[in-house]
Each structure stands twice: as C-alpha cells, then as structure tokens.
Amino acid sequence: MSLPTLFPGATLGVMGGGQLGRMFVHAAQRMGYFTAVLDPDAASPAGLVSHHHIQTGYLDPEGLARLAECSAAVTTEFENVPAPALAALALQRPVAPGAEAVAIAQDRAREKAHFVRCGVPCAPYAVIETPEQLAAVPDELLPGILKTARLGYDGKGQQRVATRAELAAAWAGLKGVPCVLEKRLPLAAECSVIVARGWDGAMVHFPPQLNLHRDGILAVTQVHEGNLPKVLVQRSIDATKSIANGLQYVGVLCVEFFVLEDGSLVVNEMAPRPHNSGHYTQDACDVSQFELQVRALAGLPLTPPRQHSPAIMLNLLGDLWFASTAQDAATEPPWARVLALPGTHLHLYGKHEARRGRKMGHLNITGASAAQVRATALEAAQLLGLEAF
C-alpha cells in the first residue's frame, strides 16, 4: 500500500502524551511539521510541547473527531492505546501502526502466535484462560513465568512460579484473567532490534541493542561493534524484519529477544512504537528512531540510519531525585558534574514531579571508542548513584 507523501507544513497527530510522544513531536517539529496530541492529562509531556493538545480520553468520540479533523495522519506513542480508537481514526485518516498490529501487540497470546507464524522461535508456552487449561499445563513448562495476556509492561503483571501449586495460586491472585505461562529459560543476555517500515514495504533497521533490565525496567543499553556475536546480529535483524512484514507493519517497531546460555536466540515481545532501547539513536546516529517514525508516517524516504559513535544509554528513574531512602523531598541530581563528562547528552521528559520508579529521562553517552564510552558511562552512573554494569 502506498499513500501520498505528507510534506512539512502538514499536521501529524499522535495518540498518547508521554515521553515517546514528546520526542516524536520534537522530531516532527524540527522537520517543519505541525503536531497534535490526544491525551487526557493536562500536563502530559507531549501535550505541553505540541501545537495542539486535545485533552480527552482515548475512546472519546469528540476527541477522536477533533484529532482526525486537524491531522493529516496519526501515529501512537504507547502500545496500550485502545485499538478500537485507532480503527475509528483509520476510517478518516492514515494511521500507522494500524489497529490490528497494535491489538496483536496488546495480547501476549496473539503476539506469540504471530511469532510462531513468522517462524521466529519463542520460549515454550501455554495459554491459560480456563481452569481446564490450567490443569492441562505440561510439567515441562515449570518452573516458569506467569504473565497476564493484556496490559503488561515494564515487568508488571508477571510472577515467577516453580510448582503447580504456585501456578494455581498466582493465577487466582490475578483474578483468573487470561494469562500466558512461559517456561523459564537460562538467559545469558537480552537484546532488541528496531526497524522502521514504510507504507510501500521499504524497511530499514538500527543495529541490535544489548540491554540490561532491573526490576523489569530497562536500565542500560549498549550499542557498539561487538556487543553481540555476529551470528546473533544477523539472526535478530532477520527475525525482526519477518515479524514486521508478517504484520504489514507501518512505523517504528521494536522486538525484544533473549540470548540463551547455549547461544541461541528466542523472541520475547514486541513494542509497536519507538523504544527505550533506541533512545541512544538521538545522539549516536545520523537519523533517530523518532525521525524514522515521522518519515514512515508521512511517507518520506526511509534512508538506512548510520551509527557514527559507540553509545550507552542510562535510564533515569525518579529514584535519582531521592538519594537517601529516608529522604522525603526530591532533590535535583548533580547534572553539572554529569554533564562535565565528555560525550554526555541529557534528555529529560518535562515531568513536573519526580517519583520513585517513574521514567524521568535518559542519559546518552557517546565517544570515539566503546571502551571510552563505557568508562564515561560508569563514571556517570557513580555520580548519579546508579548500580554499575
């Protein structure tokens, strides 16, 4: 499918007003586009910097009509935007990614079935929606991880289980909602690949990112030559492209993988949007993931991005504003000392209140060599009170 190109001067709409929307808006505005954000929060990071902020719920018919009226095309900035809202918008305007792709990403059972259809290996799993399915779970899936089929992100809605009794108790604790039980695998590392796919099927990708999670939230991303074995680099890129093509996807897509101790690769999940692990592209590449999101939505050429510097991204949570566990009032982290380090790039999201566990920003570190970047990143982490990696 090919659509007319939307040139700078057009208005691009985005469903969702979080930090990913904010960075999309900044990228679109830098290229000369106007922007419109639909988000119910008056202080949403993207809404505060957009030309238009439609402050309604995501399923509000009047709000959706206003977004369609003022936008030439619409994207989304987080995966839990209701798919029916995207379907309604698509009746009037081009929407990328489409409602069906987002709906699949919102449901772990459908997502895993899609991975299987695309020939991409994932962890052995079972869908649990009824007591009968619970009783029929194969013994070889334990120990495992029970995950809610819907609305899970950043480690939420997940519980480790080792026995059938623990599995039954965990499912009951989740009120018997549809779940997926995944076999727990021996992990050596985690990585992700980000691709951008156009309306015409053209696709480009960034190099695979090596990721470290803490408490289910991405903490560190490292991207440089040799961060992964070459065989896994190509395998992860090919798998991500297969998943995107299978969805007839348009926009930026991130697919996360597990690297197992035996050197094999299994897919974990996908995010139908730009991703935390791609934030380094803002300072280490000639085209960022957010500019590619703009280009894909607007039908502009998708040029292959070039990484010009090794990079490490440190995720900045609200905990940094509370250096002491006994501290009640937020205190600004030592930005001046951090920014005195060569190759540091601070990105804060404009959130008015720091809270523990809340994503407040990220720090990109670039340099001439992977060793230099790592040394600087470790120094920055120490200044901020972050755990070494």
Q: Annotation-wise, does 58 bind a ligand?
A: no
Q: Annotation-wise, does 108 bind a ligand?
A: yes
Q: How many residues does the chain have?
A: 389
Residue among 81, 82, 13, 83 at smallest CA distance from 51 = 13
Q: Annotation-wise, does 154 bind a ligand?
A: yes
CA-derived radius of gyration, the chain: 21
Q: Annotation-wise, does 117 bind a ligand?
A: no
Residue type, 35: T
Phi-psi region of 216 (alpha: psi -120 to 50; beta: other; left: phi over 0): left
Q: Annotation-wise, does 251 bind a ligand?
A: no
CA distance 170 to 225: 42
Q: 49 and 69 in contact (C-beta within 8 Å)? A: no
Q: Annotation-wise, does 157 bind a ligand?
A: yes
Q: Annotation-wise, does 153 bind a ligand?
A: yes
CA distance 316 to 332: 12
φ, ψ at 327 (rounded to 5°): -80, 130
Q: At what angle do helices 289-298 and 19-30 cross, to 10 degrees?
A: 70
Q: Annotation-wise, does 47 bind a ligand?
A: no
For the chain, count helices (H), then strands (E): 13, 17
- Two structure tokens written together for 93: 């305007």
Q: Annotation-wise, does 374 bind a ligand?
A: no
CA distance 248 to 242: 10
Q: Annotation-wise, does 110 bind a ligand?
A: no
- Two structure tokens written together for 382: 């120490």
Q: Annotation-wise, does 112 bind a ligand?
A: no
Number of alpha carbons in the 13 Å side-chain half-sphere of residue 335: 11
Q: 220 and 261 in contact (C-beta within 8 Å)? A: no
Q: Annotation-wise, does 158 bind a ligand?
A: yes
Q: Annotation-wise, does 190 bind a ligand?
A: yes
Annotated binding site for ATP: 108, 147, 152-158, 182-185, 190, 213, 268-269
Annotated binding site: 108, 147, 152-158, 182-185, 190, 213, 268-269
